[in-house]
Amino acid sequence: MSKKFLGILLATAMVAGTLVGCGSTATTETAAPAASTETAAPAADAAADTAAPAADAVGAGQKVGVAMPTKDLQRWNQDGANMESELKAAGYEVDLQYASNDVSTQVSQIENMINGGCSVLVIASIDGDSLGTVLASAKEKNIPVIAYDRLIMNTDAVSYYATFDNYMVGTKQGEYIRDELDLDNAEGPFNIELTTGDPGDNNAKFFFNGAMDVLNPYIDAGKLVVKSGQTDFATVATANWASDAAQSRAENIVSSNYADGSNIDAWMCSNDSTAQGVVAALDANYSGEWPIITGQDCDIVSVKNMIAGKQAMSIFKDTRTLASQVVKMVGQILAGQDVEVNDTATYDNGTGVIPSYLCEPVFADINNYKELLIDSGYYTEDQLQ
């Protein structure tokens, strides 16, 4: 290995060490062949060591396919760019594709990656149930697949899953509402409405269930009231996480249930794009006191809304951390090494539990967003003006 290349890797490791930490619980299992290795190295210092390992003769120059769902959401642009940059710095050729939230396009892109000589596939799926056939081809060619942030369902071709602790995301949103309304002490009742994400995204159910496990006891006790009556996942889901769909549904809820001027005290939104739709609906049609609105991803628009007092919080999932961990996993796969995971029990995709690496999310609000987002270099102050 050249001194120059080693310097690049050490610099990458130092940058990764400054990022928000990943989860630190590690599980070790017996090593398997590279395409299906289910091993876990100790992860106590994972956040400080998330850069890719040396791309030696086994991995250097090999091609990695990265399939992202869309450029329409800010976070996927960041995820793709971060991963491409780190993979190239580690010596890999990268085929990065965005599919405009069209499943057939993503399938075609993955087919091209398989036939185009990719040695590993990293896939953030549009619809977790729609990739079984194309990934069967990857398995036939012994191409390992890492599901990126969204679990790919009902296929045994998935080797690993890398994500944030999705249930914890929802838990933190529910706890924020609980604490801000002081539900354990305040008399209430308080009105709340619910908006979650795409029903085809396996993560949406984890987000929703995490939040509702916190909020349901207060709903059952009558301290939280959902005036619309819309509380089941299927009803509150938002196709493609689309802001306009979230806005349309929120406008209907407001006109049907709050036209008399009664307050909405909280609106649990599972991510920022749906939160932005709810904010737009409230700006247009709501006359009560402004509610606590949750979100996820710390999109620039939502951080600006946070500063303006229109969104209370957003879960911060530092995509630099996740990208670094995935690059590390890619390097371990291509070098035939044990692949680091820290969860081998939670994420069953219908064919079995997928060995996973879970990073830990935190939340940003008006009190800490500067420290988390600006001081860390994630955004500049000018971007949030």
pLDDT tens across 309-354, in order?
999 999 999 888 999 999 999 999 999 999 999 999 999 999 999 9
Whether residues 152 and 219 fall in one domain:
no
Residue 379 belongs to a domain: no
- Residues contacting residue 353 through CB under 8 Å, at least 6 positions apart: 344, 345, 346, 347
Shared-domain flag, residues 311 and 201: yes
What integer pLDDT is reported at residue 58 of this predicted model?
A: 52
Q: Please check whether residues 179 and 68 belong to one and the same domain.
A: no
Select from 194, 183, 156 the least CA-distant residue to 353: 156
Residues 216 and 270 in one domain: yes
Per-residue model confidence (pLDDT) at position 17: 39
Place 14 in a pLDDT band, splitting at 50, 70 and 90: very low
Q: What is the mean pLDDT of residues 73-84?
A: 90
CATH number, domain with residue 51:
3.40.50.2300
Residue 376 covered by a domain: no
Domain boundary among 295, 317, 339: 317
Residue 372 lies in a domain: no
* CB-based burial, 92-125: b 16+ in 10 Å, e otherwise: bebbbbbbebebebbbebbeebbeeebbbbbbbb
pLDDT band at residue 59 using 50, 70 and 90 as cut-offs: low
Same domain, yes or no: 195 and 309: yes
Q: Are residues 341 and 309 in the same domain?
A: no
Calpha distance 119→144 (Å, rounded): 7
Helix, strand and coil percent figures for the chain, each rounded to 5: 45, 15, 40
Is 373 within a domain? no
Q: Examine residue 385 and state whether it is found in any structural domain, yes or no.
A: no
- Whether residues 133 and 248 share a domain: the answer is no
Residue 384 in domain? no
Rounded to the nearest 5°, which phi and psi values hold at 310? Answer: -100, -15
| Per-residue confidence (pLDDT) for residue 48, from 0 to 100 | 36
Pair (48, 111) in one structural domain: yes
**So what's the pLDDT on residue 319?**
85
User: Looking at 12-16, 95-99, 113-117, which range is the least confident one?
Assistant: 12-16
Please determine, for residue 245, whether its predicted confidence score (pLDDT) is greater than 60: yes
Domain that holds residue 117: 3-158+318-360
Do both 24 and 36 map to the same domain?
A: yes
Q: pTM (2 decimals)?
A: 0.75
**How wide is the angle at C-alpha 47 spanned by C-alphas 43 and 53, nearest 5°?**
80
* pLDDT score recorded for residue 384: 96
**CA nearest to 162, candidates 200, 205, 203:** 203
- pLDDT tier at 202, thresholds 50, 70, 90: confident
Amino acid at 308: A
| Bridge partners of residue 291, in order along the sequence | none
Same domain, 186 and 110: no
Q: How far apart are CA 198 and CA 23, in angstroms?
A: 25
Which pLDDT belongs to residue 21? Answer: 40
Return the CA Rg of the chain: 21
User: What pLDDT score was predicted for residue 45?
Assistant: 35
Arithmetic mean of pLDDT over the chain:
87
**Residue 74's pLDDT is what?**
81
Give me the number of domains the chain comprises: 2
Same domain, 138 and 185: no
Instruction: Check pLDDT > 50 for residue 33.
Output: no
**For residue 19, pLDDT beyond 50:** no
Calpha distance 333→103 (Å, rounded)? 27
Residue 299 lies in a domain: yes
368 located within any domain: no
Give the per-residue pLDDT at 60. Answer: 64
Please give the average per-residue pLDDT across 186-201, as a whole number: 95
pLDDT at 73: 83
User: What is the model's pLDDT at position 31?
Assistant: 31
Per-residue pLDDT, averaged over 352-381, amounts to 96
pLDDT at 52: 41
Does one domain contain both 151 and 172?
no
